[in-house]
Structures are given as C-alpha cells and as structure tokens.
Amino acid sequence: MRARGLYDLAVIGAGSAGFSAAITAAELGARVALIGHGTIGGTCVNTGCVPSKNLIRATEPLHCAAAAARFGGIRGEARVEDWPAVKRGKDALVDALRRAKYIDLLPAYDSIAYIEGRARFSDGGIIVGGRPLKTDKVIVATGASPALPPIRGIEGVPYLTSTTALELDRLPQSLLMIGGGYIGCELGQLFVRVGARVTIVDIVPILSGGEPEISTALAGYLREEGIVLHESVRPTAIRETARGVALDILADGRSETIEAEQVLVSTGRRPNTAGLGLEEAGIELLPNGGVKVDDHMRTTRAGTYAAGDVTGRDQFVYMAAYGARIATQNALNGDGRRYDTTAMPYVVFTDPQVASVGLTEAQARGQGLSVKTSILPLDQVPRALAVRDTRGLFKLVAEAGSGKLLGAHLLAPEGADSIQTAALAIKGGLTVGELAETIFPYLTTVEGLKLTAQSFQKDVAKLSCCTG
C-alpha cells in the first residue's frame, strides 16, 4: 500500500463500475487506489451476465431442434448428454474473461494500485483491512447481491439464487421460481428447456415494468414451452418437505400450495452497503438500501460519489460503467457531467427477446405528455415470415404533436440488437416520420422499427416489399 495522501482517488469495489472508475481516473492522470474484496470482476463476469447468457445460448438448440418442424421436411433432435460438461464450458469462459478483462488489465496501468481488503469510512478518509488510506475523493462501487422476499420461512429452506443456480452439477426435475422479472423469465426458460418442470410465481405480472402488450405476449410463449405461471398472487409461506419445498400462495382469495424439488429466488438485488460505515460518514441511503446520489453521481458526503448497482437503480453492467465514468470525471475535474438515461436500452434474453429504450406509454402519460402509439405484430415483418417465426411485436411511443420518438419496445427472436437503432433515434431527437423515411435493409428484424413508424400514417399490410 502506498503512503498516506498519495492517492487522488480511492475506488471501493473491483467490479465493472470499479474498474471503469479506476481506468477513467488513470487516463486522466490520477493516482488511484482500487480496493477489492472477494473475487475480482464483480457480478457480471463471474455470476451474472456472462455465465447466464452462455448457458441460455447453450440450451437454445434444445428448443430450436424441435422448432425446426416449422419448416416443411425438416425434423431435428437435441438433448442434454452431459450437464457437468456444459457447466465446465461456462466456467472456462468466465475464468478466461475474468483474467483478460480484469486481472491482466491492472499491469497496463502504473497509476492504479490494487488493494485487497474490506474498506470502511473513517474520519480521516477510509480504512482498508485495518490500515488508513487518506484521500479526499472516494467512489463507492460495491455492487449488489440477491435479495430475499418477505415470505415466512424463506430463510429456513435451501433456496437457490441466480448465482447458485448456475453452479448446479445436477439438473432439478422441478423448479419453483419466485419472481417473474428478467432474471426469473430468463432462467425459468433455460431450465424448462433442459427438462425441468418450471413454475414462476410473482405478486405482479411478469416483466411488469415494461409494456403490458409485451409481458402478456411473452407469458403466452413461456406457457407454450411448458412453464406454469402464477401471476398477481401473494406468496404467504414456504417450508422444506421430504421431496423439496412447498410454497403457499393466496390467489383470488383462495389458498394454494405449489411443490417443487428446488426453489430459486429471483426477486431483485439489494445494494452491498453493510459494513462500510456509510451512514456514520454522512452518506444517505435510499429506502431500497441504495446509496443516494444526484445526477452528478454525488452522495450526501462531500467528495464521495457512488456508481453502479450500489445506487439501487439501473442495475445493468453498462450503466454501472457509464455511471462510474461520470462519477470519476466529476470527482477529478469538477461536477460538469450529468447522468442521463434518456436513451438507456435494456434487454431481456428470453426467446423471443425483449428490448426497450426510452419511455413506455404509461411513463409518458404519467409525465403529462400527450402521446400516440403504434403496435406492429411480427407477422407484418418480412424477416419473421421468411424464418417462419412470428412470435412478438414492435411498439413505438411518440409525442402526439411533434411526432418525436419517446420510446421503442420490442419482443422478437434475436431482436435485441435492433434496439440500438431506436436508442440512437431517441438520442438524436428523431421523429417517427423521420424514422419511417430512413433506409433500412430488407429481411432484417430491425426493419420492424421502420414498418412500425410507417404504421402511424398508413396500413403497412397494403405495402409491397420495401415500399415507403
């Protein structure tokens, strides 16, 4: 550890946000203490995005083989022969990316000192592993962990989380998912495709924060694959049984019991703030446990900033990295940059995929905006017809008077990459009319954006290929 006072910035947390902050600071010529505790790299590479999306893709052929029958004269078969081998492949990828994108990066930055240990705030700065580290500027980037729902008995059953579920050496015959957000939907579909009987339970409809047309359609597709959905029900108690677990729920005033071999809790994530001495240091926390920050990423303690999942908002790895860059630039060069989510896209890696950017119709109306919308089913998109897979839809939200694009939302097989076009359109202030006049390549999923934009003014079913 360097001597006291030799650091321009201390970053607590060595995940995506922490590394983004440290590298940004190094590029600005600052001397940085990057403080990590536990496995370097944080959630995304170790237990979140990378391993889950790898396994989702690995199990996709199990569905695609059966779905090949949608083409006349084609029949396919696929099965899981060696799940531990699939898991080892996932682990090898995680290890390789952790080394390439985190561990091996540190030697390239002479001004970054990596320090292993628990950190907490003190009067003179921060304490790391019992030793003082004096600095006037600190960024908190400690991430978040799976949260438990308030269900009686939950702490007494052997529950899985999104982390431990990806480490299973043996596939369960039946799996109960508590929570129908993006993690619940992604992992529920993954496990049903490897042969488990999957039930998803939630107090609200699945993906309830998005457009209802999309969540309703996706629910139907998940049911078609065999997932049992219990939406808008209240879990009351859970207990261990001789055959696994049993969850009591209240649905329409009636009590029901759902049994499964294992239970996976996917009801959100709680910011990692315990033991840091934040409140004692004058750093205010939000009701959800997140560190309160303003749009400059400043906390309520002078010279201290926070970024990433620990803020309790926008819990996506790219937003963690983005927020960390904003925090670092403001900490070192004055508070001139603002955190802006106007064109923040997000993706749910189900099949079909969900992708969204900007305001939903409800959010726009909630802001007092007068809006107009257009919904285009995927059977109006030539790409979907050509590949015989019309599951999904596009929905655009525009300002009624100006036609300015406010939000874009889609449900489509391999549709996630299309959302970035909409993000750029929103960032550039385009109208749906301008989007409709933009040249799009034929027989691509992203052409659905153009067609939906055109449908504000015309019936696209009456257009020939590429007309307009």
Q: 329-368 burial, b for 16+ CB within 10 Å, e for fewer?
A: bbbbeebebebeeeebbbbbbbbbbbbbbbbbbebbeeee
Q: pLDDT per residue over 245-265, tens digit each?
A: 999 999 998 999 999 999 999
Rg (CA), the chain: 24
Please name the residues in contact with 129: beta carbons below 8 A apart, sequence gap of 6 or more.
Answer: 115, 116, 117, 118
CA-nearest of 150, 433, 138 to 293 is 138
Sign of the C-alpha dihedral computed for residues 90, 94, 97 and 99 taken in this order: negative
What count of other Cβ atoms lies within 10 Å of the Cβ of residue 84? 10
Mean pLDDT of 291-309: 98
pLDDT of res. 374 = 98
H/E segment holding residue 321 = helix 317-333
What pLDDT, on the 0 to 100 scale, is given for residue 465? 81
Residue 334 — left, alpha, or beta (φ > 0 → left; ψ -120 to 50 → alpha)? left
What mean pLDDT do residues 59-78 have?
94
pTM more than 0.85 = yes
Does pLDDT of 373 surpass 80?
Answer: yes
Numbers of helices and strands, H then E, in the chain: 12, 22
pLDDT average, residue stretch 353-382? 98
Tokens of 175: 């799996």
Q: How confident is the model at residue 5 (pLDDT cuts 50, 70, 90)?
A: low
Average confidence (pLDDT) over 186-195: 98
What's the confidence (pLDDT) of residue 420?
Answer: 98
Phi-psi region of 312 (alpha: psi -120 to 50; beta: other; left: phi over 0): left
At 311, list the tokens.
């803020």
pLDDT of 2 strictly over 60: no
Number of other residues whose CB lies within 10 A of the CB of residue 231: 17
Residue 467: pLDDT over 70: no
On the question of pLDDT at 3 being above 50, the answer is no
Please give the share of the chain, as a percent, with pLDDT higher than 70: 99
Hunting for tokens 């995927």 — which residue is that?
A: 378
Confidence of residue 463 (pLDDT cuts 50, 70, 90): confident
Provide the terminal-to-terminal Cα distance of the chain, rounded to the nearest Å.
64
DSSP at 285 = B
pLDDT in tens, 72-88: 999 999 999 999 999 99
| List of residues 6+ apart from 253 with CB closer than 8 A | none
Q: Which two tokens stand for residue 148?
A: 């438990």
Lowest-pLDDT choice from 2-11, 69-78, 277-286, 382-391: 2-11
Is residue 468's pLDDT more than 70? no
Phi, then psi, of 143 in degrees rounded to 5: 75, -160
Q: Cα–chain-centroid distance for residue 460? A: 33
Cα distances (angstroms) measured from residue 67 to each of 129, 145, 186, 229, 405 = 55, 36, 19, 22, 35
Contact 10, 35 (CB under 8 A): yes
Q: Extract the tokens encoding 145.
A: 């962990």
- Interatomic CA distance for residues 458 and 437, integer angstroms: 13
Tracing tokens 């939302």 back to the chain, one arrives at 409
